Structure 1
Amino acid sequence: MALNLDSLIKSIESLSQSLQASKDISVLDLPSNIKDTIRAGVIQNFEVCYEQSWKMMKRWLEENVGSSYVDGVTRRELFRVAFENKLIDDVDRWMDFHKSRNETSHTYDQATAEEVFSDAEFFVEDARFLLQAIEARND
């Protein structure tokens, strides 16, 4: 059964658009509070896109590999199975994204925001890779 990928597609688009907006405003002479608000939007879109990505990854693996391989496993193990099935290309990088996602939930300071914002720029490409891999085998 083919998975409905709409939520993943929309979350990747939103993250991409917010990242582009942050690049567009970086050259403008705007007050820092406006720039901070746009960066906060990038971080929020990163959070949503990350959640959509790993959940879609898990659904695809359940449908195509078997739920016994992914139910109740750690996130690292889930990413390892996804790597073995060519949905992602770097388990450690996805663990770093997971760490960044967790940091946004528990602490929020400027240093954390900068780190997560930086990760969001790398994450969007990996999310696109995941989407393409699932689309290619979504039947």
Structure 2
Amino acid sequence: MLDLTSLKKSLDNLEKLIIATNNVVLTQGLDATLQEGLKAGVIQNFEVTYELSWKFIKRWLEQNIGNSYVDGVSRRELFRLAAESLLVSDVDKWMKYHKGRNETSHTYDALTAEDVYQLAMDFVHDAKQLLMNLEERND
């Protein structure tokens, strides 16, 4: 049985930060530095939640279909196996999240930050679905 507490907490933090950055009343009162700081918090929480998500996918697959199917596979193959196991619905979207995560760790400029911030908005819904699927099938 997987302890999903860290994924739940990380996802909750990401969702709260996204809500805060979309709160016009809150953000209008902040200077540009603090607004960017909130967005940077979203990006950092996206990175952490993405990392936890794929690692929980891997652990679930190892426990339920076997290590020999999971060890050493590419990320695309991991997400394909997750889709076959009904943990995720769209392999290409998860590959987009993977690419976004890699971009933030190798390059950090304003354009990349904005792209990943926007990506995090989509990701939160898919990560919530993943968590729900993991919870339902967590033996």
- Structure 1-normalised TM-score? 0.96
For 1:119 and 1:55, locate their aligned partners in 2 and report how far apart those are by CA, in whole Å.
19
For 1:17 and 1:51, locate their aligned partners in 2 and report how far apart those are by CA, in whole Å.
18
Query: 1:72-111 to 2 correspondence within 5 Å?
Result: 72-111=72-111
Q: Using the TM superposition, give the Cα deviation of residue 27 of structure 1 relative to its aligned residue in structure 2, in angstroms.
A: 5.2
Residue 4 of structure 2 is matched in structure 1 by 5
One-letter amino acid matched to 2:70? V
For 1:137 and 1:27, locate their aligned partners in 2 and report how far apart those are by CA, in whole Å.
39
Contact persistence 2:43–2:113 (CA under 8 A): yes
1:134 matched to 2:134: yes
**More displaced 10-residue stretch of structure 1: 92-101 or 21-30:** 21-30
SS of the equivalent of 1:86 reads coil
Residue 31 of structure 2 is matched in structure 1 by 31
For 2:114 and 2:47, locate their aligned partners in 1 and report how far apart those are by CA, in whole Å.
14
Query: 1:118-129 to 2 correspondence within 5 Å?
Result: 118-129=118-129
SS of the equivalent of 2:28 reads coil
For 1:72 and 1:63, locate their aligned partners in 2 and report how far apart those are by CA, in whole Å.
15
Unpaired runs of 5+ residues, structure 2, are: none
- Structure 2-normalised TM-score? 0.96
For 2:49 and 2:27, locate their aligned partners in 1 and report how far apart those are by CA, in whole Å.
26
How large is the Cα RMSD of the aligned pairs? 1.0
One-letter amino acid matched to 2:77? E
Contact persistence 2:14–2:124 (CA under 8 A): yes
1:19 matched to 2:21: no
How many residues of Structure 1 are paired with residues of Structure 2 in the alignment? Answer: 138
Unpaired runs of 5+ residues, structure 1, are: none
Q: Which consecutive segments of 4 or more residues in structure 1 shift more than 3 A?
A: none
Residue 48 of structure 2 is matched in structure 1 by 48
For 2:40 and 2:111, locate their aligned partners in 1 and report how far apart those are by CA, in whole Å.
13
The alignment-based identity, stated in percent, is: 55
Query: 1:53-64 to 2 correspondence within 5 Å?
Result: 53-64=53-64
Q: Deviations over 1:64-102 (max 9, x none)?
A: 111111110000000000000000000000000000000
SS of the equivalent of 2:22 reads helix
